[in-house]
Amino acid sequence: MSPTMFTFQSPLRLFLAMAFLLLGAVVVLGGSFAGSAGAVETSGSSVVTLGTGKAGQKLINQGVRFKAQSPATRKKLSSGRTRITATAGDAQVTGTAKVTLRGGITLKRGKRQFKLRGLVIKSKTKQTTVKGKLGGKLTTVAKVDGKSAVDPVAGTVEISKGKFSLAGKAIKKAKNKLKLKQAPKGTIGKMDLGVQAAFEDPYLAECGLEADTKTAGTLPAATPLPELNGAVSSAGNPITWGVKLSLRGYIAGIGKIVGLDGAVVNRLPFPGPPPTGFTFPDDAEYAANGSGSADDQAVLNGSGSILFCNAPHGFRIVLSNPTVVIDGDNSRLIADVDTNTTDLGTGISDWIPAQRIDFANLDTSSIVPETDVPGKQTWTGVPTSLTAAGAESLRLCEGNPGPCTYIDGAEFDPITVTVKTTG
């Protein structure tokens, strides 16, 4: 799926790998990776077929006809039934989908009219309501019975043949406006809905890499944190880690590295080497268990994000909110990993939103904590290695025609952390 990172073991290999990727971009895309189609815009529509069901047939029998309010469109069907199509003007899809429609629906009987306008669909898996303006106020005017498919990651909502009926004050108002003998209770139509909400890469401004598609992550969630008995809580013990030197050097050579939300990129004065590492502010907890330091536990919850931006090669990686766990054989580093990578064959960039995973293992077996500073304990130079989930989350080996070092067990930079041992 992605322009991948090769095994950079020398400046010559780095140059050849970069040249290969750039050549591939020219051959496959006829230009650079930046030629992506761009962020997805809101698309799709609502289609309501009116005049179905017992209540819908009764409306037709009483001389009611169905019209579309522009820009919605109408198509006449047989036996007085009508299909009204309204495109989506805006959509937000989280646990609940909210879709604003363009245009509206009019029920007409002779010269009398009952209008449904300013329509907003709110849909959960088993419940869909339609709000509209009645008397200048936004209120529930209809409901749709039937299951809807709401996908917050893909940003889509779909309804197929949902039973459409008036609801609330709209029932009485329609009866009075149209001078109907019977209130229009029950199903008056059916609704089909298919909408894709707009989205864009959340780091577009910083990295300049657009997203054409959005895909749900499938990695296992991070292991729960240990419960620390009698823990000492503290702040002001920042996490400093370099992630991986070759990654920093590669990105700094052709892209850029950015710190957000309090995370800092540690740099030496120009013309110094690539960034020496990154610092994340944190809150920490420490627990001394037993008489020896080998049983000590600590949890450092870092915050902020480090962006590895490589738009020329069509990918970016964001590591956020690292948590360092010191817990014997279960010591590890947890992080949110958010990626956008471009497929060399199609030129389509795919965004996978942040997944919180066990990113790296920490080997504390040979580390003796330092207590030189009163009230503090430091684990210096703890070896780290990439987990299987961490390797997959980076997406640096996808489609790699040659060896790739970003695999399960790969050595990453050692990490040093300090916690306060007294309140």
Question: What is the per-residue pLDDT across 336-385, written as a single tens digit (0 to 9) for each?
Answer: 999 999 998 888 999 999 999 999 999 999 998 888 888 888 999 999 99
Q: What is the mean pLDDT of residues 176-196?
A: 96
Does residue 191 sit in the same domain as residue 214?
no
Q: Is the pLDDT of residue 70 over 80?
A: yes
Q: Which of 7-11, 260-264, 305-309 has the lowest mean pLDDT?
A: 7-11
pLDDT value of residue 269: 52
> Does pTM surpass 0.75?
no
Q: Which residue has the higher pLDDT, 272 or 174?
A: 174
**Which pLDDT tens digit goes with each residue over 72-122?**
999 999 999 999 999 999 999 988 999 999 999 999 999 999 999 999 999
Question: Has residue 244 got a pLDDT over 90?
Answer: yes
Give the lowest-confidence range in 157-171, 282-296, 303-317: 282-296
Q: Which of 174, 196, 218 is the last residue of a domain?
A: 196
Nearby residues of 137 by Cβ (< 8 Å), 6 or more positions away: none
Number of domains in the chain: 2
pLDDT for residue 15: 34
Distance, C-alpha 53 to centroid of its chain: 40
Q: Tell me the per-residue pLDDT of 141-172, one tens digit each, with 9 for 90 and over.
A: 999 999 999 988 788 999 999 999 999 999 99
Q: Is residue 414 part of a domain?
A: yes
- Helices and strands of the chain, counted as H and E runs: 6, 27
On the CB side of 145, CA atoms within 13 Å amount to: 9
Place 388 in a pLDDT band, splitting at 50, 70 and 90: very high
Q: In terms of domains, do 191 and 209 share one?
A: no
CA proximity to 155, closest of 211, 215, 219, 221: 215
Q: In the predicted model, is pLDDT for residue 55 greater than 50?
A: yes
Q: Is the pLDDT of residue 133 over 80?
A: yes
> What gap in Å lies between CA 42 and CA 199, rounded to an integer?
8
Which helix (H) or strand (E) covers residue 14, if one does?
helix 11-29
- Whether residue 410 is contained in a domain is answered as yes
Is 363 in contact with 392 (CB distance < 8 Å)? no
Q: Which domain holds residue 324?
A: 11-38+201-420
Give residue 42's region: left, alpha or beta (phi > 0; psi -120 to 50).
beta
Contact 45, 159 (CB under 8 A): no
What whole-number distance in Å separates Cα of residue 142 and Cα of residue 164? 7
Q: Domain boundary residue among 196, 216, 233? A: 196
- Any idea which residue has 């299951």 for tokens? 147
Mean pLDDT score of the chain:
86
Q: Are residues 285 and 233 in the same domain?
A: yes
Task: Return the minimum-mean-pLDDT range out of 15-19, 60-64, 141-145, 236-240.
Answer: 15-19
User: What pLDDT, on the 0 to 100 scale, is given for residue 88?
Assistant: 96
- Is the domain of 360 the same as that of 234? yes
Cα–chain center distance at 333: 22
If DSSP codes are grouped into helix, strand and coil, which group holds residue 179? coil
Same domain, 170 and 31: no
Cis peptide before 71 (omega within 30 of 0): yes
Show Cβ contacts of residue 221 under 8 Å, excluding neighbours closer than 6 positions.
Answer: 355, 356, 357
Q: How far apart are CA 345 and CA 351, in angstroms?
A: 16
Length of the chain: 423
> What is the pLDDT at residue 289?
64
- Give the end of a domain, one of 150, 171, 196: 196
Same domain for 270 and 150: no
pLDDT score of 270 more than 50: no
Whether residue 399 has pLDDT greater than 90: no
- The predicted pLDDT at position 373 comes to 87
Instruction: Report the distance separating Cα 349 and Cα 342, nearest Å.
Output: 4
Residues 54 and 140 in one domain: yes
Q: Do residues 98 and 245 both lie within one domain?
A: no
Instruction: Indicate whether 157 and 233 sit together in one domain.
Output: no
CA distances from residue 298 to 178, 346, 347, 356 in whole angstroms, order as listed: 71, 46, 44, 19
Among the listed residues 250, 209, 289, 273, the one whose alpha carbon sits nearest the alpha carbon of residue 35: 209
Comparing 148-162, 216-230, 288-302, which segment has the lowest mean pLDDT? Answer: 288-302
